[in-house]
Chains A and B, each alone.
Chain A
Amino acid sequence: MTTPFEPLLRVANVAKTFEIHAQNARRLNVLSDLSFEVFAGECVALVGPSGTGKSSLMRMIYGNYHVTAGRIDVWRESAYIDLARLDDRAILALRNTTIGYVSQFLRVIPRVATIDLVAEPLLSSGVMRDTAYDTAKALLRRLNLPDTLLDLPPATFSGGEQQRVNIARGMIQRRPIMLLDEPTASIDRANREVVIAMINEVRAAGSAVIGIFHDQDVRDAVATREIDMAAFQPGRQAA
Chain B
Amino acid sequence: MTEAVPLLIADGVSRSYGRHIGCCDVSLTLWEGEVLAVVGESGSGKSTLLNCLSGRLSPDAGRISYRRRGEAAPTDIARLRPVEIRDLSRSEWGFIHQDPREGLRMAISGGGNIGERLMAVGNRNYAEIRSAAETWMGRVDLALDRIDDRPTGYSGGMRQRLQIARNLVSAPRLVFMDEPTGGLDVSVQARLVDLIRRLVDDLSLSVILVTHDLAVARHLSERIMVMRSGEVLEAGLTDRVLDDPQAPYTQLLVESILL
**Minimum distance in angstroms from B36 CB to a CB of chain A:** 10
- For B223, give the chain A residue with the smallest CB separation: A88
> Is B237 in contact with A65, judged by CB distance below 8 angstroms?
no
> Is A21 in contact with B190, judged by CB distance below 8 angstroms?
no
Given A89-B2, A110-B190, A111-B190, residue A66 in contact with residue B244 (CB < 8 A) = yes
Query: Which residues of chain A are within 8 angstroms of B237 by Cβ–Cβ distance?
Result: 63-64, 88, 91-92
Task: Name B's interface SS.
Answer: helix
> Is A63 in contact with B2, judged by CB distance below 8 angstroms?
no
Q: Does B124 contact A (CB under 8 A)?
A: no
**Minimum distance in angstroms from B166 CB to a CB of chain A:** 25
Q: Does A93 contact B (CB under 8 A)?
A: yes
Q: Does A20 contact B (CB under 8 A)?
A: yes
Query: 8 Å CB contacts to B: which residues of A71-117?
Result: 88-89, 91-93, 109-112
Of B190, B194, B237, B243, chain A has the most CB atoms within 10 Å of the CB of: B237
> Is A20 in contact with B240, judged by CB distance below 8 angstroms?
no
Q: Does B252 contact A (CB under 8 A)?
A: yes
- For B236, give the chain A residue with the smallest CB separation: A88
Mask, B1-39, CB within 8 Å of A = 1, is 010000000000000000000000000000100000000
Q: Does B222 contact A (CB under 8 A)?
A: yes
Given A88-B236, A92-B237, residue A21 in contact with residue B248 (CB < 8 A) = yes
Interface of A with B (CB < 8 Å)? 18-22, 59, 63-66, 88-89, 91-93, 109-112
User: What are 14 A-B contacts defined by CB distance under 8 Å?
Assistant: A21-B251, A21-B252, A22-B251, A22-B255, A63-B240, A64-B240, A65-B243, A65-B244, A88-B236, A89-B31, A92-B222, A92-B237, A109-B219, A112-B194
Interface of B with A (CB < 8 Å)? 2, 31, 190, 194, 197, 219, 222-223, 236-237, 239-240, 243-244, 246, 248, 251-252, 255
